[in-house]
Amino acid sequence: MKLTCIYCMKREEISAETKVDWFYNGSASDYRKKLIYQYDGEPHYPDDSEAYWKGRLTWNGSKDLQDISISIVNVAANDTGTYECEVSRFFKFDSFEHSTTRKIKIELKVKMKATQDITALYSEIMMYVLLVFLTFWLLVEMIYCYRKISKSEELAQDTA
The closest of 82, 106, 79 to 31, measured between CA atoms, is: 82
d(CA 15, CA 46): 26
Q: pTM for the full model?
A: 0.66
Q: What confidence score (pLDDT) does residue 46 get?
A: 87
**Which H or E element spans position 159?**
helix 118-159
- Residue 31 pLDDT exceeds 80: no
pLDDT tens-digit series, residues 79-100:
888 999 999 988 888 888 888 8
The DSSP bridge pattern shows strands 43-44 and 57-59 to be unpaired
Buried b (16+ CB within 10 A) or exposed e, 139-152: eeeeeeeeeeeeee
Q: What confidence score (pLDDT) does residue 11 get?
A: 66
Structural domain spans, the chain: 2-108, 116-160
Please tell me the CATH code under which domain 2-108 is placed: 2.60.40.10
In the chain, beta strands by DSSP E: 2-3, 15-25, 34-40, 43-44, 57-59, 70-72, 81-92, 97-108
pLDDT tens-digit series, residues 119-155:
888 999 999 999 999 999 999 999 999 999 988 888 8
Q: How many residues does the chain have?
A: 160
- What band does 16 get if pLDDT is binned at 50, 70 and 90? confident
d(CA 96, CA 79): 42
